[in-house]
Amino acid sequence: MNTRRLPVFADVDTGVDDAMALVYLLASPEADLIGLGSTAGNVGAQQVCANNLALMELCGRPDIPVSLGSAVPLSIPLRTAEDTHGPTGLGYAQLPVARAAPTGHDAATAWIRSARDHPGELIGLATGPLTNLALALRAEPELPRLLRRLVIMGGAFDYRGNTTPASEWNIAVDPEAAAEVFGAWGDAVAAGHVGELPIVCGLNITERMALHPPYLDRLAEAAGPHPVIGVLREALRFYFEFHDSVGEGYLAHVHDPFAAAVALDPALVITRDACVGVELDGALTRGMTVADWAGHWGRPANARIAVDGPGLPEVFFDRYLARVAPFARGLGEAM
Ligand code: BDR
Ligand code: CA
């Protein structure tokens, strides 16, 4: 049996559900989280970076390199989502400032170095706007060939947006970056320079991961008293209130940990291949992810779009708890 762990680079805009994704990656024995990119999105890049460093320290992994990303999207001003994720991005949770500092290189460079250090092996996960991945692709167009797999949380396929009627948050913050990323994969496919197509988890599937408060009670009971569970609970309490305030009910759509789970196990989803483009001009539809299901454009598929999955959402929630609870318990015993 091959027991080698899968190197993973995660580009995140932490963010309540990004934090859940990071804890899941740390709790997954088959994953080796080799670095983090901090992308501006839910909160500013500096705050995302501080959140990432603090979370890694809380989880006993201050050694994981965390890189700061661009402060702004490629060509438009940054918008942030403190209404959704709280003033620091982690809801009501308060983390001590980490002792570790960010790397001396930026997040785009971190993408490239991680991919070059693990050619054909690296799993990339993007759960924030695609600014830094787009910058990395500008500097290293071979990235689609160097990566083993890329999983993106972003977009909404045959489904409404959550930021505008047509656009999902991660795409809406930097539509030009998303267009460049899908375009770059399209170019790589056309040149025969790509293995697996990126797997895209849009709102059409991630909103099925609706977390309700009793689940957190079960998680806390199974995990014991380590503070990481308290941080997730306090972060999610804010996220519940946000969802409630916009008429979704007292629950939370946990997009990013689902994408993280797919990154480690693509069998969680059923996908359909299509060429994906990002609308950049539409007065009503800017930031919309358009999948050319019927091949009207005559362009090869550049993405695998998650449309369903066996046993979802229970399979995902069961797996999250089965991994994160013993991980947190182990951290508590080591204290
Ligand atoms: C995405 O937007 C962010 O607010 C979440 O962290 C998630 O990545 C969902 O649209
Ligand atoms: Ca996110």
114: in domain: yes
48: in domain: yes
How far away, in angstroms, is 226 Cα from ligand 2 center? 24
Cα-based distances in Å from 102 to 53, 71, 125, 327: 8, 14, 19, 25
* Ligand 1 shell residues, CB under 6 Å: 15, 17-18, 42, 81, 84, 127, 153, 162, 168-170, 255-256
Residue 1: per-residue pLDDT: 45
How far away, in angstroms, is 139 Cα from ligand 2 center? 24
1: in domain: no
Q: Give the dihedral of Cα atoms 256, 260, 266, 269; nearest 10 deg.
A: -20
Atom of ligand 1 nearest to the CA of 162: 10
Range of the domain at 195: 6-330
Residue 4: per-residue pLDDT: 85
335: in domain: no
pTM of the model: 0.98
156: in domain: yes
Atom of ligand 1 nearest to the CA of 16: 6
Phi, psi of 102 (to 5 degrees): -65, 165
Ligand 1, atom 2: closest residue by C-alpha: 169
Domain count, the chain: 1
Other beta carbons within 10 Å of 191: 11
Residues in the chain with pLDDT values less than 70: 1-3
Atom of ligand 1 nearest to the CA of 84: 4
CATH number at residue 137: 3.90.245.10
Cα separation, 94 vs 239, in Å, equals 15
Among 20, 42, 164, which is best to mutate for testing ligand 1, by the most ligand atoms less than 8 A from CB? 42
Paired strand residues for 66: 36
Residue 214: per-residue pLDDT: 98
* Residue 255 designated active-site: yes
Among 43, 256, 258, 288, which is best to mutate for testing ligand 1, by the most ligand atoms less than 8 A from CB? 256
Q: Which ligand is nearest to the CA of 253?
A: 1
Residue 15: per-residue pLDDT: 97
Among 127, 174, 204, which is best to mutate for testing ligand 1, by the most ligand atoms less than 8 A from CB? 127
How far away, in angstroms, is 283 Cα from ligand 2 center? 25
Sign of CA dihedral 240, 21, 172, 310: negative
Residue 193: per-residue pLDDT: 76
Other beta carbons within 10 Å of 41: 31
**Residue of 85, 118, 226, 255 marked active site:** 255
Instruction: Find, among 122, 95, 74, 84, the residue nearest to 230 by Cα.
Output: 95
Q: Which tens digit of pLDDT belongs to each residue from 69-104? A: 999 999 999 999 999 999 999 999 999 999 999 999
Strand ranges (E), the chain: 6-12, 31-38, 66-68, 123-126, 149-153, 199-201, 210-211, 252-253, 270-278, 289-292, 303-308
Instruction: Find, among 261, 246, 292, 85, the residue nearest to 173 by Cα.
Output: 85
Cα separation, 110 vs 115, in Å, equals 8
